[in-house]
Amino acid sequence: MLTRSPPSAPAAVHEISARQKFTQNLNLKIRKSESSPGYAFLGVLGVLCGKTVLNSPCDNLLLAIATKMELRKDPLTRSWVLTGDDIPETAPRPGTECRLCPNAQTKLQQVSSRAPVRGGLWAARAVVHPGAIYHIEVPPDRRGEGLYDRMPTLGAHEVLVENPQHDRQLWQADDAEVEQFLLLAAQRIQDLKGDARFRYISVYKNFGLGAGQEFEHPNSELAATTFIPRRVLYELRAGLDYFKQKERCVFCDILAQEMHSGQRLIEVRGDFTALCPYATRAPYEAWILSRTHDASFERFALSRPGPMRDLAGLLKRTLQRIRTITESFHMVLHTSPNRSHQSASLGYWKTLDEDYHWHIEILPILAAKAKSYTFKEVYYSPVSPETAARRLREAKLEP
């Protein structure tokens, strides 16, 4: 089992009240239902877990509140839902200092960092989420209640600070800076997969008011959960079924057909392709895939560092294109589940390396069309992927 190394400096006593701190993390988690396209691929965004060093009565109260929350499984959809009573609804205080900036007086517990490329102490870093309501210390007490399943909120939740500059988003950064963020994400996924309690590691970004953005500073988040999110589970099962029939990766076949057609391609850069999927869930939905097959993003990134600069550049330019359409979007990285989990002994995912394929999904949020694809059981996109790809290809990008 993985043991985290202690932080280089002790976490400071939090000045924000327990209620405000609890809400700061929870606002993101309960703002959107699982039916939202941005959260459908994550399954339950409420399951975002983390570890906080307890240094004050405020923190102890926060942990006490967190332990009253629990996860419950819907036996029909197999989705895990976070639930609890008396959840605060107040927003964080405006005007407080940015705790993600390098010069913040209140230091966060740093987990990992990447070497700087533009001066300073780091290019990207991972910190424990300052408002985490889930903790590694929570016991894995999964239990049944008749036909229902429930378990405590166990896992890990981190903020991946993409850039030390407060106003330098991924689409504004240099390719080398974006590359360091991607390598940081790969390192954290690899590290957390060393803990056999975690079945899946999600890396995602919520940007804009329509997406439930939590921090102004450029960031993504990482969540290690004790189950596989429903959207990813659908992909895993579909990929396995396709492989059993044809002994090929369905993602590789999709990419080959899209490259041949060209109708839904956005851009090709090096080994990577950005495209609008054939059956989009939201207007201007975009995917980025590697033409080199690999089920694991972290394995691909850490064993083949050369191509990562191309991925960084393509991700940056794809986000620039999305930004010409809307300011709000969800982005999520799909990688293989953790095979060191206890379920490996049951023989799950024997052909995982052959039948799954890591990729990045970006779902823009168009306010005028939000209801048309958020609250329906069937996804509806008023813009065809062919038209969306053409408009994104023709978008004028920043120099």
Model-level pTM?
0.81
pLDDT value of position 352: 94
pLDDT of residue 86 exceeding 90, the answer is no
CA–CA separation, 389 and 339 (whole Å): 36
In sequence order, which ranges of the chain are alpha helices (DSSP H)? 18-31, 37-40, 57-66, 175-192, 230-246, 250-261, 297-303, 308-323, 352-355, 370-374, 385-394
pLDDT digit string (tens) for 116-150?
988 888 999 999 988 776 677 777 777 788 889 88
What's the whole-number mean pLDDT along residues 231-249? Answer: 95
The answer to whether residues 258 and 285 touch, using CB atoms and an 8 Å cutoff, is no
Domain architecture of the chain: domains with CATH: 1-399 (3.30.428.10)
pLDDT of residue 200 exceeding 90, the answer is yes
Mean pLDDT of the chain: 80
- Burial class for 176, CB neighbours closer than 10 Å (0-12, 13-18, 19+): middle
CA–CA separation, 147 and 149 (whole Å): 7
Range from 76-90, 133-147, 263-277 that averages highest in pLDDT? 263-277
pLDDT digit string (tens) for 92-123?
455 678 999 998 888 899 999 999 988 888 99
pLDDT value of position 375: 47
With cut-offs at 50, 70 and 90, classify the pLDDT of residue 56: very low
Higher pLDDT: 6 or 346? It is 346
What's the whole-number mean pLDDT along residues 320-329? Answer: 95
Please list the residues that pair with 206 across neighbouring strands.
330
With cut-offs at 50, 70 and 90, classify the pLDDT of residue 220: very high
pLDDT digit string (tens) for 151-182?
887 889 999 999 999 999 999 999 999 999 99
DSSP string, 159-223: EEE--SSTT--TTTS-HHHHHHHHHHHHHHHHHHTTSTT--EEEEEEEESGGGT---SSSEEEEE
Strands 70-73 and 359-365: unpaired
- Burial class for 395, CB neighbours closer than 10 Å (0-12, 13-18, 19+): middle
- Cβ-based neighbour number of residue 388 at 10 Å: 24
